[in-house]
Structure formats: structure tokens, C-alpha cells
A and B are shown apart, each in its own frame.
Chain A
Amino acid sequence: MIMMTHPVQKITVAAIRRRLPSVTGANPVLNLQFLCTSSILFITLVIRTSIFHFSGFCSLRLESPPVLPKLGFWDSRSDKRIGLGVGVVSPVRSKGFWSVMAMERLQMACVNEKVDNVGDLGKDGSELVENSTNGHVTVSGRTVSQLATIGNSTNIMWHGCPVDKVERQKLLKQKGCVIWITGLSGSGKSSVACALSQSLHCRGKLSYILDGDNVRHGLNRDLSFKAEDRAENIRRVGEVAKLFADAGLICIASLISPYRRDRDACRALLPEGSFIEVFMDVPLQVCEARDPKGLYKLARAGKIEGFTGIHDPYEPPLNCEIVLEHSEEVCASPRDMAEKVIHYLEENGYLQA
């Protein structure tokens, strides 16, 4: 006999009965249909038992590995597909006292062939649990058949998946987040990003840098520096950074990102606490004196228009997590500044699962 290897929660049939007053009588056929942690897989367990009372516990074993015959719910009694999703039939035997071992995120129970949505029974069988998949919060109880229209994309459905953020973070021994470094051109964003990445790597942590210029070589090559394109540039970087954070990485975004509204929009994409805004607080004249790419010179000569700090505004953050200040007296190296960020990450638990 083969034990189910998926992550499980104990759910008592008593709890199911509370949710489904229609369950009565002896010798019921109990089909439990599950939505996996974040998957479209529905698993139907057929349990035939002669126990009259459903208030005890016993252990269930799967008799054979789950089979995925074809897409759809599988009604084992009528032996036909009845709905959407992927059906799995797993015959089980009960013995002694038993508890129903179930996948996380129990969605539906089909008892005596009546299918009802019981929501997620959670740890104690009573609360709905929210799940975060690909950075999106999904409230369990959502059914596979639900199509949506998002923006211009019609008839799309959210696909859940079994390996979620928590599991990836365990593998990496860190927590995914976005470190958003903002500041004028020449303020040292890329230098700090590199130093931070190196420091994290030395600690065995996986990070990835989304540098504004680099992304404009690829994903954002179709965008210019007009206001609306800057907004779209930042939106796309924000969305990609969110994906990296969901993948479990410490994603370091390094862009001028001059408009407060655009940065705040990126913050709103991520769960609370996962967006760490780092402001390179360096005066314009210091940045211009550095002029590492010769851009201020071109801007002053009128060869570049709309250059941030010269013709275009920079709106400093009002409430960022970290400020890296320039000081005339103490010349902090990019490495020193990176350590300040590392300290914040450590304090806030990002450098462990």
C-alpha cells in the first residue's frame, strides 16, 4: 500500500459533515475533491467504509498511485467525467480509527454524490486560507472553471501549481523580495546593486539585478524616455521583479524611476514588506561632478532632452525603507552601503527561509 506523498492536512469527516448537512446515513461513499495548493489538479478519493459513525479517526492508505485518466472531474460511481480540471481516482481502504488525509486547500466534497463547495478547511477545519501563487493572492474556494478578463486579455484563467513560493524559499534558504534602488543618474545605484549582489552571493544567497539600462536592451527595447514610456518601463520592471521575488530570489531593481507614483505602483504589486525601497540620497551637483556616463554634459549642452535632474524632475521617496546618504566627511564605499542593506535584510528575516 502506498502512502500519499503530497503535503497533507488532517481533516475530520465531522468537519465536513458540519459543512454539508446533507451527509446522512451509514455506508456513504465519500468522494473528496481537492484543489492542490496552487494547482488545477483535483484528486478524488473513493472511500468505501462500513463505519456507521463519522466522528472517529483512522488512517487511510492509497492502494495504488493516483491515476490521471483524462481531464475533468471523475465521478467514480457513474464512471464518467463531470466537470473541469484533472481527475484522479485513488481507491483507498480504511482501517481502524481514521482521519481523512487530504491535500492542502480542500475545495469540494462530494458525499453521496452531492457535490458542494466547502472552501478550505484550513488547519482546524474552520477557516478559509489565502494562498499566494506567482505573487497573486488567491482565496481558496475559487473553482477551476472561473474564467476572467484582465486588462485586454479575455477568457484567461489563473493556473495554480504545486511548487509554490514557500517551497522555493525553503530550497534557497532565503525569502524572495524586491530591493528597489532609486536615485539620480550617477548617484551610485548600479554600484550598490553590484556590491549588494556580491555580498549576498558570498553568503550563499541568490539574487538577480534588473538594471534599468540592461532591461532597456531587451524587454524594454521598444520604450523611449517620454513620460508614458518611463511609466511603462517601470511597470514592466516591477512586474518582472515581482516574478523573481515569487521565484524566491532577492531581486535588485536599479533604475532612476523618478516618479513617486510609478514606484508606489510597483510597491502595490508586492505583498506587504517585500518591496524594499532604497533611496540614493546624493545631491545633483555631486552626481553631475561624477557624470560617469557623460550624460550630464550632453544634457547641459542640449544634446539630450528630458534628462532627469536637468530638465525632468526627480521626486524623492517620502517613506522608503533605507536611505543611503552621501556624506562629504565620511566617504562610504558601495560595499559599506551594501552592508547597510544586508543588515536590513538580516533583521527582517530575508536571509533565511
Chain B
Amino acid sequence: MSTVGNSTNIFWQECPVGRAERQKLLNQKGCVLWITGLSGSGKSTLACTVGRELHSKGKLSYILDGDNLRHGLNRDLGFKAEDRTENIRRVGEVAKLFADAGLICIASLISPYRKDRDACRAMLPDANFIEVFMNMPLQLCEERDAKGLYKLARAGKIKGFTGIDDPYEPPLNCEIEIQQKDGVCPSPSDMAGEVVTYLGEKGFLQYS
């Protein structure tokens, strides 16, 4: 019996069907692909493309998109610094559950603060946290302005928008970095290919 955080008198419940059994059933290893980058850098697009690639190989993945989660689990959170931290903490915890279930969980969030992303990394032992940095220049993201948010931010209608009046802290040591080559963006399928190749090389696409 223990006390964890504010939860007193709780017990850890063990069960005979564990992670190893589920991974064997799925013939893959659970992990978290954490895609980080500015708004408009292509995180959701990459997440979708990777999901599609994995599905075509018979692998089970699930996308935790920052915006989608803010429709449900995280609907009570805003964009203040502490809410962003809590948003990321919760997504990290859920991603951990999905990885434990044996899935390749693709988390796609701006997640601008290094400390918060590192805290998620710390939740997952055994090198199962794969950070993917969409290293696209602000200018490109703003030009795309996929959701019209940069325009609103420049007009002062959104405050604390990452890249405009809130910082983005790039990863110092991520597993995969996606960037332009000679000023040209790789296609989503090329980017997804790079990620899926990495997963294959590290043994996540089979149970061994």
C-alpha cells in the first residue's frame, strides 16, 4: 500500500497478461514516438503518414494529437504555461499506457518546453521514447499557416502563441530530426519512411 501524489492507500494491481504477452500477440514492441515542433511544421501530417505506413505493415499504432486530446481528456486545460505542462504530462502518461498495451503510440504536440518533453522521456524506461523534431523554420511554418493561427497571432488576437510571443525550445538530443534539404521540405512519405526505418532498425516492428 502506498501514497502516490494525492492518492492515498493505493495498491499496485498485477496481472498475468503483461506487456510481453501483448507484444507477442501484436508482433511488435510498444513505444512512444513523440513528434515536436512549431505549429504548421507538419507534425500531424507526419503522424498520419507514419500511422498509415505502419498499418500497411500490419502494425498497430495510435495517434495522440495535441489538438484532438484538447477536445476530450484535456478539455479543461488552456494554453498558460502551467496548463501546457499539465497537457504534456497527461499526454505522456497516456502514451505510456498505450506503449504498455503494446502499441506504437504517436504523440503529436508542439510541446515547446524541453523540461516537459524530458519529463515524458523519463516516464518511459528502456529507450522506448523516440523524440522526432520537425525542424522547420518559423518563416516556412508561418507561410503555410495551416490553421490561420500565425495571422491571428501577428494581429495580436492570440497571445502566447509559440514562435511569435512564446518560446519554442528545440531538442538537444532527439532520436530523429526532420529538416529541409537544400531549402526543400521532404515529402511526408519520405519523412515517414525515415521514421519507420528507424523503428525497424531498433527492433520495434517485431517481437523478439
Contacts and interface: CB of A to CB of B under 8 A. Distances in A.
Interface of A: 39-41, 67-68, 70-72, 84-86, 134-136, 145, 147, 150-159, 161-163, 167-168, 171-172, 190, 193-194, 197-198, 201, 204, 206-211, 213-214, 216-225, 229, 236, 239-240, 242-244, 246-249, 254, 269, 293-295, 298, 304
Interface stretch (B74-82, B125-133, B166-174): B74-82
Contacts of B185: 70
Given A161-B48, A204-B25, 16 more contacts: A151-B76, A152-B78, A153-B70, A153-B74, A159-B67, A161-B63, A171-B58, A197-B15, A213-B11, A218-B93, A218-B96, A219-B93, A223-B7, A242-B72, A244-B97, A298-B9
A118 to B, nearest CB: 23
B101 interface: yes
Nearest to B140: A70
Contacts of A147: 147-149
B208 interface: no
B13 to A, nearest CB: 5
A204 B21 CA distance: 10
B164 interface: no
Given A158-B68, A239-B73, A222 B5 contact: yes
B68 A134 contact: yes
Interface residues of B, number: 68
Contacts of A154: 78-79, 158
Contact of B60 (A151, A172, A210, A304): A172
A240 B60 contact: no
Given A70-B185, A218-B96, A243-B64, A155 B152 contact: yes
B117 interface: no
B15 A151 contact: no
Nearest to A217: B4
Interface of B: 1, 4-13, 15-17, 21-22, 25-26, 40, 42, 44-45, 47-48, 51-52, 55, 58, 60-65, 67-68, 70-79, 83, 90, 93-94, 96-98, 100-103, 123, 144, 146-149, 152, 158, 185, 187-188
Contacts of B12: 213-214, 217
B103 A224 contact: no
A229 B71 contact: no
A244 B4 contact: no
Contact of A157 (B1, B67, B74): B67
Contacts of B52: 162-163
Given A70-B185, A157-B147, A249 B101 contact: yes
B74 A193 contact: no
A197 B93 CA distance: 21
Given A158-B67, A194-B15, A222-B6, A152 B76 contact: yes
B60 A152 contact: no
Contacts of B103: 247
Contacts of B83: 152
B101 to A, nearest CB: 4
Ranked 9 nearest A-B pairs via Cβ: A221-B5, A151-B75, A153-B70, A216-B7, A219-B93, A239-B73, A152-B78, A224-B6, A71-B144
Contacts of A236: 73, 90
Given A71-B40, A159-B44, A240-B94, A150 B73 contact: no
A199 to B, nearest CB: 9
A240 B11 contact: no
Given A161-B48, A201-B25, A239 B72 contact: yes
A150 B69 CA distance: 10
Contact of B147 (A84, A222, A293): A84
B13 A197 contact: no
A193 B17 CA distance: 11
7 contacts: A136-B71, A153-B77, A157-B147, A159-B44, A201-B22, A208-B22, A298-B9
> Which of A201, A213, A225, A295 is most buried by chain B, counting CB atoms within 10 A of its CB?
A213
Given A150-B70, A210-B97, A247-B103, A224 B149 contact: no
A245 B10 CA distance: 26
Nearest to B66: A156
